[in-house]
Structure 1
């Protein structure tokens, strides 16, 4: 079934015992993982318990139509229920999912996660329609919703955050809820509770003022190929996946296109940047303005298509992901060196 927001919140507290499969998917990978953990802990307290937790991947499910139904029907040695976790579930696992949902003996809970499935996905349609399945789409928190989430988490720790501090935190952590909670824990320890100002944020986290991706973004879109290569090498050494770098630059391109569209409608550059939500951190406004002058709407659309194509290529089987991402970014830096 496809639950509404209130039904999702109720299920996160107590899942209907008639549900055999919780299928969680969407572009917000952090929220997908978090909700999978919450549902899993409704079945077993220790998610690392090898006797009560079975881990499968999408390929295993696709290769064996009976594996989910069999695991869901198996009895734990010491009684109780088992948790079957599936990562990377895709449309090629549909037959196994159908066998699970139709099984008369499945008692254990299956929690399966997928990527960002389109509405046309057969797997998504099946889990959204079946009464024994709970299909939950996870989309990134942004704007007012993200600020509201951060305020609630801050208040739970006895913190009252100034609006500019909330905006800075939102920009620094994005939709990554676990990271947000960790940063709020640090702020609570640093301040001892009470009011949190911008200077508190900068004292606790050196990276708050500037995203770890900002130097890369500004080098690529500023047309500085030498600096772009240096930043790519640095982030590769730190273990950053190439697709994460693409998405960081992609977010800036969408911002720039929004700014240029507003300018075409008669807004000034400053007003267009000021209208962006979430707000642009003040230290980045000059760089973003310079990029908006450098990149026209058509060039932005071309760049967006290039990055989206690169991401699709990375996701395809057997692709050299980081190499594709790095080559795409360097090509973009070369294109950005010319003002048009």
Structure 2
């Protein structure tokens, strides 16, 4: 089944417990990550990670051990409750073990949640999930959030808004990435407390320079400027930026570099990149090359898994170490 628009929003919020699998794909890594996070939480519950009812792996893991996905889907958990097998960053080259596991799915097995980048209509992954009676495929595009998504995000924070503040929040939704928008709503809710939020509260919590500094620390890693990373991370931490948000943005940036490296240059990227950022990305692509960019993406995937695991390591320190390692790779 292929879902989009309001139907997709309702599925992420209230998925059918008998869902066999879901393929979430799109060019915007942040949108994909947020939706799969919401879906997994609503399929398996907030304690799935702690109760070992969530199994994580990458597309590369699935390709290296083709039986691993099916084994994970069929495994019997120690704790009672619904189980999810999450496979991140799958490409067409890694589709076979995913589709084999989906084809073998039976009632009582774990739900299979798979994420991918942009996929063509001829994609085997898309056809496999769209054609399965108990699975769905959802494409996420870089469109502004719809009214139903905005209302769901406001309700999730328990936020009450004056009519003027609601107009301001809707304007923010059109201007911000979904991750930034949700983080901003959380700050507005904390700022307003039990009171109805006013336009002043929205203005006070709206992001100002966070995006620029996020881009700057990722650019420092991509350009080998390791000495700049520490001070930038301190500022971002003080502004409340989450390490998970940083790893998603960094992954998206390096995915763009890799797409340019294998696709003939920055000028061939869609959507296009303009101005000084295009010149900077062009230099980064030439400096890295496709092979090293694949190593960088593997490092970021490992970091993302660490940040979302039950590890007690300080998350911003884990992210800073990853960015410094990327800077060292850029220099080598």
Alignment TM class, shorter chain as reference: 0.5 to 0.7
Question: Could you tell me how far 1:42 is from its partner in structure 2?
Answer: 4.2
On the 8 A contact 1:15/1:39 being kept in 2, the answer is yes
Work out whether 1:318 is the aligned partner of 2:295. Answer: yes
CA-to-aligned-CA distance 1:90-145 (integer Å, 9 cap, x gap): 22321112211221646323343424223254323432333342111223452xx4
On the 8 A contact 1:76/1:82 being kept in 2, the answer is yes
Question: Could you tell me how far 1:310 is from its partner in structure 2?
Answer: 4.1
Distance 1:26 1:41 in 2: 20
Counterpart of 1:286 in structure 2 is none
Structure 1 SS opposite 2:55: strand
Question: Could you tell me how far 1:66 is from its partner in structure 2?
Answer: 1.9
Question: Could you tell me how far 1:147 is from its partner in structure 2?
Answer: 7.4
On the 8 A contact 2:130/2:137 being kept in 1, the answer is yes
Question: Could you tell me how far 1:313 is from its partner in structure 2?
Answer: 5.0
Work out whether 1:235 is the aligned partner of 2:237. Answer: no
Coordinate RMSD, CA, aligned: 4.4
CA-to-aligned-CA distance 1:178-205 (integer Å, 9 cap, x gap): 313312312431xx433512x43454x3
Counterpart of 2:8 in structure 1 is 8
Question: Structure 1: where are the runs of 5+ without partners?
Answer: 219-227, 251-298, 327-340
Question: Could you tell me how far 1:80 is from its partner in structure 2?
Answer: 4.4
Counterpart of 2:184 in structure 1 is 180
Match of 2:209 among 211, 221, 236: 211
On the 8 A contact 2:92/2:125 being kept in 1, the answer is yes
Counterpart of 2:66 in structure 1 is 65
On the 8 A contact 1:19/1:131 being kept in 2, the answer is no
CA distance 1:318–1:172, change in 2 (3 Å)? same
Distance 1:80 1:209 in 2: 39
Total equivalences in the alignment: 260
CA distance 1:113–1:22, change in 2 (3 Å)? same
On the 8 A contact 1:24/1:138 being kept in 2, the answer is yes
Counterpart of 2:77 in structure 1 is 76
Question: Could you tell me how far 1:74 is from its partner in structure 2?
Answer: 2.2
Counterpart of 1:276 in structure 2 is none
Match of 1:193 among 169, 176, 195: 195
Distance 1:152 1:104 in 2: 31
Distance 2:50 2:251 in 1: 35
Distance 1:78 1:163 in 2: 43
Structure 2 SS opposite 1:93: helix
What is the TM-score with the length of structure 1 in the denominator? 0.58
On the 8 A contact 1:52/1:76 being kept in 2, the answer is yes
What is the TM-score with the length of structure 2 in the denominator? 0.59
Distance 2:230 2:80 in 1: 51
CA distance 1:129–1:179, change in 2 (3 Å)? same
Counterpart of 1:122 in structure 2 is 124
Question: Could you tell me how far 1:300 is from its partner in structure 2?
Answer: 4.3
Give 1:291-330 correspondences, 5 Å limit: 300=274, 304=278, 307=281, 310=284, 316-319=293-296
Distance 2:3 2:214 in 1: 40
Counterpart of 1:334 in structure 2 is none
Question: Could you tell me how far 1:317 is from its partner in structure 2?
Answer: 1.3
Counterpart of 2:159 in structure 1 is 157
Structure of larger gyration radius: 1
- Name which structure has the greater RCO, CA cutoff 8 Å, separation 6+: 2
Work out whether 1:112 is the aligned partner of 2:113. Answer: yes
On the 8 A contact 1:53/1:82 being kept in 2, the answer is yes
Structure 2 SS opposite 1:159: coil
Distance 2:276 2:76 in 1: 55
Distance 1:167 1:149 in 2: 11
On the 8 A contact 1:101/1:132 being kept in 2, the answer is no
Give 1:33-112 correspondences, 5 Å limit: 33-45=33-45, 46-103=47-104, 105=106, 107-112=108-113
